[in-house]
Amino acid sequence: MKAKTKAKNEMKLVIPSNSANESFARAAVAAFMAQLDPTIEEMTDVKTAVSEAVTNCIVHAYRDTIGKIWIEAKIYEDGRLSVQIKDKGCGIPDVAKAREPLFTTGGSERAGLGFAVMESFTDKLTVRSAVGKGTTVTMEKRVAQRYRYDG
């Protein structure tokens, strides 16, 4: 069994599932990630993935109510960023089906591409869910380590 790697730095945030907080969550994770000196593309990828995950909590998990969204981000020595977004909403009955492109429970105005977008903009995506208990989405993105002058 592989030893669990300890995070070099981490942050936690809890926000209500108001749509106004989606941009705040995206900006908070981006600001935390900035210490890795990411490229604009790496930063944009993570911001997009976080937006999708938080939007899923707002639109699907808590549908017509306001609940809490937990966001935890960790940075590891190897330049890996891990972002976990968790809700205690309705849960997903069939995660495999929900991860299929174009599948949605959000009505005709939703594209059903949330998980596909998260997967395409990160290196690893894990989705755990239980009906009536909520969903946890964990995304990992490796940021290229560039030369840093220490003076």
- Over residues 66-89, the mean pLDDT reads 96
Is residue 18 within 8 A of residue 1, CB to CB? The reply is no
Q: Which of 22, 42, 56, 119 is catalytic?
A: 56
Number of domains in the chain: 1
Catalytic pick from 22, 42, 52, 72?
52
- In a domain, residue 149? The reply is no
Q: List CB contacts of 90: < 8 A, sequence separation 6 or more.
A: 60, 61, 62, 63, 131, 132, 134
Residue 132 lies in a domain: yes
State residue 113's pLDDT score: 65
**Over the stretch 131-140, which tens digit does the pLDDT of each residue have?**
999 999 999 9
For this structure, is 100 an active site residue? no
Is 41 a domain residue?
yes
**Residue 18's domain spans which residues?**
9-142
Q: Is the pLDDT of residue 12 over 50?
A: yes
Q: Is the residue at 114 inside a domain?
A: yes
Q: Is residue 150 part of a domain?
A: no
52 is catalytic: yes
**Would you say residue 4 lies in a domain?**
no
Q: How far apart are CA 56 and CA 113, in angstroms?
A: 10
Q: Which residue has the higher pLDDT, 37 or 117?
A: 37
Residue 2 lies in a domain: no
The string of pLDDT tens digits covering residues 55-77 is 999 988 998 899 999 999 999 99
Query: What is the CATH number for 108?
Result: 3.30.565.10
pTM: 0.86
In a domain, 36, yes or no: yes
